Amino acid sequence: MVFNSYTFVAFFIVMLILHNLPISWKAKKINLLVASYVFYAAWNPPFILLLWLSTVVDFFVGRALYTQPNKHKRRLLLVISLIGNLGMLCFFKYGGFILENFVHLTNLLGFDYHPAKPNIILPAGISFYTFTTLCYTIDMYKKESKPVKSLLDFSLFVTFFPHLVAGPIVRPPQLVPQFETEHKATKDQLLNGLLLLTLGLFMKVVCADTLLAATSDMIFSSPGNMGPLDAWAGVLAFSGQIFFDFAGYSTSAIGVAMCLGFILPQNFLYPYAAIGFSDFWRRWHITLSSWLRDYLYIPLGGNREGKFRTYINVMITMLIGGLWHGANWTFVAWGGLHGLYLWVEKAIKDSRARISGNPDGDIPAPVIIQASFAPMRPAKTSGGFIYAFFTFLLICVTWVFFRSATFTGAWRLLHSMLGQAPPSGPPILTTADVVKVGIVITLMLAFHWYMRNTTVLKTASKMPWWLTGVVWSFLIIMIVLSQQTGKAFIYFQF
Q: Which residues contact 46 (CB under 8 A, 6 or more apart)?
A: none
Residue 111 identity (one-letter amino acid): F
At position 295, the amino acid (one-letter code) is Y
The full DSSP string for 242-275 is HHHHHHHHHHHHHHHHHHTT--PPP--S-GGG-S
Is 448 marked active-site?
no
Q: Which residues contact 32 (CB under 8 A, 6 or more apart)?
A: 15, 19, 156, 160, 161, 260
| Residue among 19, 163, 285, 325 flagged as catalytic | 325
CA 120 to CA 110: how far, in whole Å?
28
- Provide the residue count of the chain: 494
Q: How many CA atoms lie within 13 A of 79 on its CB side?
A: 6
Residue environment code for 363-379, b if the CB has 16+ CB neighbours within 10 A, otherwise e? bbbbbbbbebeeebeeb
Q: Give long-range contacts, CB 8 A cutoff, 24+ apart: 141-150.
A: 141/65, 141/74, 141/77, 141/78, 143/66, 145/172, 145/173, 146/66, 147/62, 147/63, 147/66, 147/67, 148/59, 148/62, 148/172, 148/176, 150/179
DSSP letter assigned to residue 303:
T
DSSP-based helix, strand, coil % in the chain, nearest 5: 70, 0, 30
Instruction: List all residues 6 or more positions away from 195 whose beta carbon is below 8 Å from its beta carbon.
Output: 255, 456, 457, 460, 468, 472
Could you give the CA distance from residue 225 to residue 219 in angstroms, rounded to a whole number? 10
In 329-461, DSSP assigns E strands to: none
Q: What gap in Å lies between CA 174 and CA 151, rounded to an integer?
A: 17
**Distances, alpha carbon 387 to alpha carbons 93, 254, 379, 449, in Å:** 37, 31, 10, 12
CA angle, 394 then 399 then 400, to 5°: 100
Q: Residue 297 has what DSSP assignment?
A: I
Please give the single-letter amino acid code of residue 106.
Answer: T
**Interatomic CA distance for residues 9 and 429, integer angstroms:** 35
Residues marked active site are found at 325
